Structure 1
């Protein structure tokens, strides 16, 4: 991807989720109240899919997603479909790692004693697809020439393990180590990715909050207090990603979005990428890094000095957490600042080459959960249009 001279529309990514249209949102509310069944939402979800495709076409975005309208939360799709995983709707909070930022915050905000999760009670096997049906629905809703532009968002393999750790993720009679557990997960993910590719998918994005959590000084301090080797665990999670992406076709672009939390306009963790950048950029086997850079809690661009020449960084410089529009000239200046850091990095390269390794995006999705953030669809359109306008100024 980084070797291509991309046109401005392809320089702008939206991270994946889009605001649910009002009809679908209202039905979700009724479902929460027990007034409609989950299956009653199907027609509204199908209509929402057509709506978000047209929204992306009207804006002129280079890539198209399904907006995650068929999901209630971004991480749906994998673990509930895996053989060997037992769903636990009311797993005791004592079985979660309280140093994980979103676990701590949600328990404090909602006074929870339990949370829904999973436990690996048997050997992991992919016996049914994760996202194939959602991709087929998206593919069937676009013209054949648009299929190569489609992108699938995917729950990461680290999701359950980072919440429960090595001691409470899997039955030790089934898996003796994290390596064994992630080996089988990698087989399942590779099978999913292979089927998606055979259907025409050429863009996959893993949405992973895990890595930004390792940027949090508070989490690191609490892990150390509990005797957790955070450097070893970070390496374990890098290996988990690489098991999923290994031996992928050359024309399949896989990206990883590193999220700090995105629910109702709040975030879960803070801290720049300095703590993890060298290991992250040199070890994670993905083509594209989606990075959150919408405010000061994300740190500066200095970690980008480690970006290899064959990778792309998507700078999330517009926030999805409130409707305020950023200053376009300030955004343009930030992109050039990032390019200068990359150009002076390891190895050094020209600023033109560095700019060619950059794209821009909102810092996260507009609705990682169906309730969304405190922004409207019009706000969403204005923010995406702002990014497109800035991209034209920089890359045209």
Structure 2
């Protein structure tokens, strides 16, 4: 087996962690005007320092800030771009049985990635992480941003500012390239693009984002083109990966269905180094679509669920890894949770203790399958 000193790792994570009670309380007080931003930041800093230490103790070779400074996995990034404003939304809820908060983002002008606040978020984690630990920066994918801007709730506003679709695409791509370039200059060597937007092609697709009248094939090709324009000609030592799932809010999901409808475009032609793929339930389908996976690509199997507290049966997971190895050789397979534990600040329905028990199980299985790495 090969060993690596760059993402992905045999024992890996997606990015977000459950927020400690102390952090949740501080965010509530800040929202209510009870404490200033500086006091909130001090609590965030403290909780992130503790989290980075816990990740190291767990045996991880990668660290994130747990997305502790965010309310949402995607909207906070959008709000940090120039030309984007925070709004309230009355759009249709897409999560099964669980109403989400009514926050959104819309354009106020042309899009730019200059001076994004996530740059300082990264620098803080980089400053406290031990040498040899890879600090991962998670971002919503560029096509997730496009998907948001052309949703029914946003389409008219977006068209007012960008009457020409190609100009919108050009500015999205340039904004992302600016942010990634700034992150790289700050020492970032692993950017993960989180992408739920491929779910619009799955069997259980949501109709909440169907304002775009183009065909499925046209939309797939557009998504692939936008992502690849952002990924093109990046530094060779920058690991660019993507995470694909079907929604994650308070343990609820947004869509279901296997990867087959998008496998050829996503797995064979998207220019990432590795894929973090949701595979924790029947909603994700089988491993057969992995036959399209590019021969130079790595696959992180999200076989351990972050949605429920019960620990998986180790033998069942070992059997599923062997099954996946029929399509992608074992040396290109890795293991992680299927998603983060808290894609939004509410978090999934399990405790912090149960969260770390899940990671301990992943480490145990990874060491048994691939040995220490």
Report the TM-score, using the length of structure 1 for normalisation.
0.85
CA distance in 1, matches of 2:367, 2:341: 23
**Deviation digits for residues 148-198 of structure 1, max 9, x if unmatched?**
x11111122223432342781654464343332121111111121112112
Corresponding position of 2:49: 50
Which of residues 221, 235, 253 in structure 1 aligns to 2:239? 253
Structure 1 residues 128, 322: closer, same or farther in 2, change over 3 A? same
Corresponding position of 1:13: 12
Which of residues 358, 363, 377 in structure 1 aligns to 2:338? 363
Query: Structure 2: which 5+ residue stretches go unaligned?
Result: none
Which deviates the most, 124-133 or 17-26?
124-133
Is the Cα contact below 8 Å between 1:5 and 1:356 reproduced in 2? no
CA distance in 1, matches of 2:160, 2:27: 40
Corresponding position of 2:162: 175
Is the Cα contact below 8 Å between 2:94 and 2:206 reproduced in 1? no
Displacement after TM superposition at 1:77 (Å) = 4.1
Corresponding position of 1:188: 175
DSSP-derived class of the 1:146 partner: coil
Displacement after TM superposition at 1:92 (Å) = 4.8
Corresponding position of 1:153: 138
Structure 1 residues 394, 364: closer, same or farther in 2, change over 3 A? same
CA distance in 2, matches of 1:340, 1:82: 42
Which of residues 290, 294, 298 in structure 2 aligns to 1:308? 294
Is the Cα contact below 8 Å between 1:197 and 1:252 reproduced in 2? yes
The structure whose residues are more often helix, as a share, is 1
**Deviation digits for residues 39-77 of structure 1, max 9, x if unmatched?**
532111101111111111111112111111111211144
**Deviation digits for residues 292-340 of structure 1, max 9, x if unmatched?**
0001111010011111111111110001111100011111111111011
Q: What is the count of residue pairs matched by the alignment?
A: 368
Which deviates the most, 160-169 or 241-250?
160-169
Question: Where has structure 1 moved over 6 Å in runs of 4 or more?
Answer: none
DSSP-derived class of the 2:368 partner: helix
Whether 2:218 is the aligned partner of 1:232: answer yes
CA distance in 2, matches of 1:329, 1:160: 39
DSSP-derived class of the 1:80 partner: helix
RMSD after superposition: 2.7
Is the Cα contact below 8 Å between 2:248 and 2:343 reproduced in 1? yes
Displacement after TM superposition at 1:129 (Å) = 2.2
Is the Cα contact below 8 Å between 1:17 and 1:368 reproduced in 2? yes
Whether 2:203 is the aligned partner of 1:204: answer no
CA distance in 2, matches of 1:322, 1:134: 29
Structure 1 residues 370, 239: closer, same or farther in 2, change over 3 A? same
Is the Cα contact below 8 Å between 1:216 and 1:271 reproduced in 2? yes
DSSP-derived class of the 2:255 partner: coil
CA distance in 2, matches of 1:75, 1:332: 32
CA distance in 1, matches of 2:13, 2:341: 9
Displacement after TM superposition at 1:356 (Å) = 1.3
Structure 1 residues 213, 40: closer, same or farther in 2, change over 3 A? farther
CA distance in 1, matches of 2:163, 2:195: 25
CA distance in 2, matches of 1:195, 1:243: 17
Query: Structure 1: which 5+ residue stretches go unaligned?
Result: 343-353
Whether 2:104 is the aligned partner of 1:129: answer no
Structure 1 residues 271, 40: closer, same or farther in 2, change over 3 A? same
Which of residues 369, 377, 381 in structure 1 aligns to 2:356? 381
Corresponding position of 2:324: 338
CA distance in 1, matches of 2:198, 2:99: 25
